[in-house]
C-alpha cells in the first residue's frame, strides 16, 4: 500500500508539472495520515529538526561561493595558467579540462557549477583549435563530476547532516577517491589520443611558456590556492567547522573575484539571486524527501527491507552491487541531490546493517550519483555543457563520448569495494 501512495504522489507531480518536492511531500503525508492514523505532524517535526541543523547552513554558502566564482572570470586565469603543463602529453589541452575541474572542485562543491565554470572557458577555445567537440564535452562532463566528490561537497554535507555522519571525515574520505578518478580520466584521454589522433589536433607549442615563465604563470594563480585553504585548510587543521569555513570562503571568493577576477556588484547580485534559486530548489526537494523518509521510518520500511535481504541470504557484496545498479537506473531520471535525498533514508540503515562503514558508504553513494550526471536522459552535466555548445553537440553524441569516463567511475566504485582504505585511511588517520 505504501508504494501505491508513493507512486501516486509522483504520478500526480508528473501530470501537473509540479516540483518534485511536492510529490515527495504529498506521498509522505498521505502515508502518515492514512496508514499511521493521522500522524502527519511527524513529517513537520522531521523537517523542523533537520532544517534547524547548524551544519546544513553551509549548503547555501557553498552554493553562493560557486556562483560567485562562476561569474568572476577566475576560471579563465586558472585555465590559461594550466594549459602549458600538458603540451607534450597525448591529449594536450584535454588534460587541462580535468586538472582545472579538479582544482575548481575544491572550492565549488557541486558538479554542474564546476562543469559550467570550466566549460564556458574551455569549450570555445578547444573547438576553435580543432579538438573533437563531443569528446571535449565528454571530458568536461567527467571533470565536472569531481565537484560533488572532491571536498567541499554539497552531497557530503547533506548526507552527513541528515544521517549524523561527520562531515569533516566525509571531506577527508572524498579527497583521495576524487584524485584517483581524475587520474583515471587523464589516462583515458591519453589512451584515446594515441588510438584516435584525429581527436587532438597538432599544435605549435613553441610559443608556450617554459621554465621560469611557466612557474611565474602558475604562481600567479595563488589567490585560488588561498581560497582553497580558507575552505579546506581551516577544516583539516581544526580551525573551523565546515559551516564556518563556508562563510569564510564566501568572503574570500568575493575579495578574489573583485580584486583578481572580473566580479562587479551587478554580477554579485546575480550570484546572490542564482544561489537563492538553487538553494530553494534543493531545499524544496529536501523538505519533501524528509517527510517521505519519516513516513518510511515510521512504517519500519528500512527494517523490513533489511529482513527481506537477510532472508534471501544475500552477501554484503551482492547487496552492494544491487545498490549500485539501482542508483544507475534512478540516475537516468533524477538529478544527483534529489536522488541523494530520496534514497539515503532507506539505503543508509540497510547498508550499514550489512556492516558497511558509513563514511565509506557516503563516498560510494556520491560516486554512484555522479555516474547519473553522465547518464541520459537527465544527465545534468551533459545537459549543461551541450547548452554551452549552442547546439553544436547533441546529448546523444556527448553521452557516447562520456561513456569511457562513465565506465571509469564504475571501476572506481569496484576499487573502493575491494580496497576501502582508499577512502578511509585519511579520516581514520586523523581520528
Q: What is the pLDDT of residues 195-204, one digit of tens each?
A: 998 888 766 5
* CA distance linking residue 72 with residue 162, whole number of Å: 32
* CA distance linking residue 366 with residue 108, whole number of Å: 16
How far, rounded to the nearest angstrom, does the alpha carbon of residue 239 sit from its chain's CA centroid?
25
The three three-digit cell numbers of residue 13, written as one number: 507531480
Q: Which structural domain, as residue segments, surrounds residue 68?
A: 2-430
Choose between 191 and 346: higher pLDDT. 191
* CA distance linking residue 168 with residue 270, whole number of Å: 30
Q: Tens of pLDDT along 245-275?
A: 889 989 998 998 888 878 888 989 998 998 8
Q: What is the pLDDT of residue 302?
A: 61
Q: At what angle do helices 395-418 and 380-388 cross, to 10 degrees?
A: 140
Q: What is the pLDDT of residue 419?
A: 95
pLDDT greater than 70 at residue 10: no
> Which range (6-10, 221-225, 402-406) has the least confidence?
6-10
pLDDT greater than 60 at residue 207: no
User: Which pLDDT band, with edges at 50, 70 and 90, does 185 fall under?
Assistant: very high
Of 150, 126, 149, 148, the closest CA to residue 137 belongs to: 126
Average pLDDT, stretch 395-416? 93
pLDDT greater than 80 at residue 158: yes
- 421: helix, coil or strand? helix
Q: What is the pLDDT of residue 276?
A: 87
* CA distance linking residue 154 with residue 58, whole number of Å: 9
Average pLDDT, stretch 114-124? 84
Residue 173 vs residues 26, 55, 159, 308, 427: alpha-carbon distances, Å: 35, 18, 13, 31, 6
Highest mean pLDDT among 310-324, 332-346, 412-426: 412-426
> Which range (39-43, 148-152, 183-187) has the least confidence?
39-43
Q: What is the pLDDT of residue 32?
A: 77
Q: Tens of pLDDT along 228-246?
A: 888 888 888 888 888 888 8
Q: What is the pLDDT of residue 362?
A: 95
Choose between 67 and 195: higher pLDDT. 195
- Looking at every residue in the chain, the average pLDDT score rounds to 82
For residue 108, what is the enclosing H or E element?
helix 93-108
- 380: helix, coil or strand? helix
As for how many domains the chain has, the answer is: 1
Average pLDDT, stretch 65-69? 82
Highest mean pLDDT among 22-31, 324-333, 340-349, 393-402: 393-402
Q: What is the pLDDT of residue 378?
A: 66
Q: Tens of pLDDT along 315-334?
A: 888 889 988 888 887 777 66
* CA distance linking residue 104 with residue 300, whole number of Å: 41
User: Which pLDDT band, with edges at 50, 70 and 90, does 387 fall under?
Assistant: confident
Phi and psi at residue 296, to the nearest 5°: -60, -45
Amino acid at each position: 500500500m505504501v508504494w501505491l501512495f508513493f507512486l501516486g504522489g509522483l504520478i500526480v507531480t508528473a501530470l501537473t508539472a509540479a516540483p518534485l518536492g511536492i510529490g515527495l511531500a504529498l506521498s509522505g503525508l498521505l502515508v502518515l495520515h492514512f496508514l499511521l492514523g493521522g500522524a502527519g505532524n511527524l513529517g513537520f517535526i522531521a523537517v523542523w529538526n533537520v532544517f534547524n541543523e547548524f551544519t546544513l547552513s553551509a549548503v547555501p554558502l557553498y552554493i553562493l561561493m560557486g556562483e560567485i566564482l562562476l561569474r568572476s572570470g577566475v576560471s579563465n586565469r586558472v585555465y590559461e595558467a594550466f594549459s602549458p603543463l600538458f603540451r607534450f602529453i597525448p591529449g594536450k589541452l584535454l588534460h587541462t579540462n580535468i586538472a582545472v575541474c579538479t582544482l575548481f572542485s575544491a572550492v565549488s562543491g557541486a558538479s554542474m557549477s564546476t562543469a559550467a565554470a570550466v566549460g564556458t572557458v574551455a569549450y570555445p577555445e578547444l573547438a576553435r583549435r580543432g579538438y573533437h567537440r563531443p569528446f571535449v564535452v565528454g571530458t568536461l562532463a567527467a571533470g565536472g563530476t569531481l565537484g560533488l566528490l572532491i571536498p567541499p561537497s554539497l552531497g557530503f554535507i547533506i548526507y552527513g547532516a541528515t544521517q549524523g555522519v561527520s562531515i569533516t571525515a566525509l571531506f577527508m574520505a572524498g579527497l583521495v577517491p576524487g584524485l584517483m578518478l581524475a587520474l583515471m580520466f587523464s589516462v583515458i584521454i591519453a589512451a584515446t589520443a594515441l588510438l584516435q589522433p584525429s581527436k587532438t589536433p597538432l599544435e605549435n607549442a613553441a610559443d608556450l611558456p617554459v621554465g621560469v615563465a611557466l612557474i611565474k604563470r602558475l604562481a600567479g594563480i595563488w589567490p585560488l590556492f588561498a581560497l582553497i585553504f580558507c575552505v579546506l585548510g581551516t577544516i583539516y587543521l581544526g580551525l573551523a567547522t565546515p559551516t564556518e569555513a563556508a562563510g569564510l570562503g564566501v568572503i574570500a571568493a568575493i575579495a578574489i573575484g573583485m580584486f583578481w577576477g572580473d566580479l562587479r556588484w551587478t554580477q554579485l547580485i546575480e550570484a546572490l539571486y542564482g544561489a537563492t534559486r538553487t538553494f530553494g530548489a534543493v531545499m524544496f526537494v529536501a523538505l519533501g524527501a524528509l517527510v517521505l523518509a519519516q513516513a518510511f521510518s515510521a512504517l519500519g520500511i528500512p527494517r523490513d527491507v533489511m529482513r527481506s535481504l537477510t532472508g534471501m541470504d544475500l552477501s554484503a557484496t551482492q547487496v552492494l552491487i544491487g545498490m549500485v545498479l539501482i542508483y544507475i537506473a534512478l540516475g537516468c531520471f533524477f538529478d544527483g541531490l534529489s536522488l541523494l535525498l530520496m534514497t539515503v533514508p532507506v539505503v543508509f540503515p540497510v547498508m550499514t546493517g550489512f556492516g558497511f562503514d558509513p563514511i565509506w558508504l557516503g563516498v560510494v553513494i556520491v560516486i554512484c550519483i555522479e555516474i547519473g550526471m553522465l547518464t541520459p536522459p537527465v544527465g545534468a552535466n551533459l545537459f549543461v555543457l551541450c547548452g554551452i555548445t549552442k547546439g553544436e553537440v547533441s546529448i546523444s553524441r556527448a553521452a557516447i563520448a562520456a561513456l569511457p569516463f562513465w565506465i571509469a567511475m564504475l571501476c572506481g566504485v569496484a576499487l573502493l569495494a575491494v580496497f576501502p582504505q582508499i577512502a578511509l585511511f585519511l579520516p581514520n588517520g586523523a581520528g
